[in-house]
Amino acid sequence: MVFRRGKNANPPTDPAAQQDERLIFAAARGDLDAFNKLVVLHERSVLNLCWRMLGSQHEAEDASQDTFIKAWTNAKSFKGGAVRPWLLRIATNTCYDVLRSKGRRPASSLDAIEFETEPDWSTQSNPVDPVQFAETGDLGRMLEAALSQIPDEQRLAVTLCDIQGLPLAEAAQVMDISLGTVKSRLFRGRAKLRDLLTASPAGRELLLRGDRFSQRESE
């Protein structure tokens, strides 16, 4: 697996990203201690993605372990840039392998449709992330249940952008798709989640209490 910078890409300027890059290059030279530091820094993010994609703690732990084994094995193929999207891309492919082994195909021809309108539930326009708001209490539990019911590709987009807070460009790198397709999957995933949550009186009440799915806030 090769994760290359584009022609005009620059080295990361964020101190944490620079540290990640130094650690992965050291790992590529065989420095296991450096790689273990990367694992500590990113294992929670990788496990979180695997758990939400697979819905099983056991499978998520196995996929997370496989992700870091593959990252260690392929460290020499890393060509620079942000390490987190590279790791999450490996995790995504690992999860897809598990899903395919179960006969699930995470794809939709509708994904290619681009949307210019920002959906009501959006971390791009809202200062408070509705998923972060929902991760405690009844709404959090209902949201987790709803997440498990939306298509795999849409769940991945929501997980990356709204739960893990990746910029759209990084999510596009992780998913290996265009920016427009990321927006499409986010639009559909958010809309489906909102529909699922508002299908019950309890869900509608909780959403109104949170006031994130029900109305748009100014940017």
In a domain, residue 21? The reply is yes
pLDDT digits (tens, 9 = 90+) for 152-175: 999 999 999 988 889 999 999 999
> String of b and e for 45-82 (b: at least 16 CB within 10 Å)?
bbbbbbbbbbeeeebbeebbbbbbebbbeebeebebbb
Answer yes or no: do 139 and 190 share one domain: yes
Please tell me whether residues 82 and 140 are part of one structural domain.
no
Last residue of a domain, one of 70, 101, 132: 101
Q: Which of 101, 130, 146 is the last residue of a domain?
A: 101
Residue 3 β-bridge partners: 78
Which of these, 89, 77, 62, lies nearest to 27 by C-alpha position?
Answer: 77
1 in a structural domain: no
Q: Check whether residue 73 and residue 149 sit in a common domain.
A: no
Instruction: Report d(CA 195, CA 213) in Å as an integer.
Output: 10
Dump pLDDT digits (tens) for 62-107: 999 999 999 999 999 998 888 999 999 999 999 999 998 887 654 4
Which among 69, 101, 133 is the end of a domain? Answer: 101
**Could you tell me if residue 106 is inside a domain?**
no
In a domain, 79, yes or no: yes
Report which of 181, 162, 15, 156 is spatially closest to residue 89, judged by C-alpha positions. Answer: 156
Question: Are 136 and 180 contained in the same domain?
Answer: yes
Q: Does some domain include residue 197? A: yes
Alpha-carbon span 183 to 187, nearest angstrom: 6
* Number of structural domains found in the chain: 2
- Under a CB-based contact definition with an 8 Å cutoff, are residues 37 and 15 in contact? no
**Whether residue 92 is found in the same domain as residue 178:** no
> Could you tell me if 80 and 122 lie in one domain?
no
Predicted TM-score (pTM) of this structure: 0.70
Q: Which domain holds residue 197?
A: 114-210
Residue 158 sits in a domain whose CATH number is: 1.10.10.10
- Asked whether residue 154 is domain-assigned, the answer is yes
Q: pLDDT of 9-20, one tens digit each?
A: 456 667 888 999
Half-sphere exposure of 21 (CA within 13 A, CB side): 16
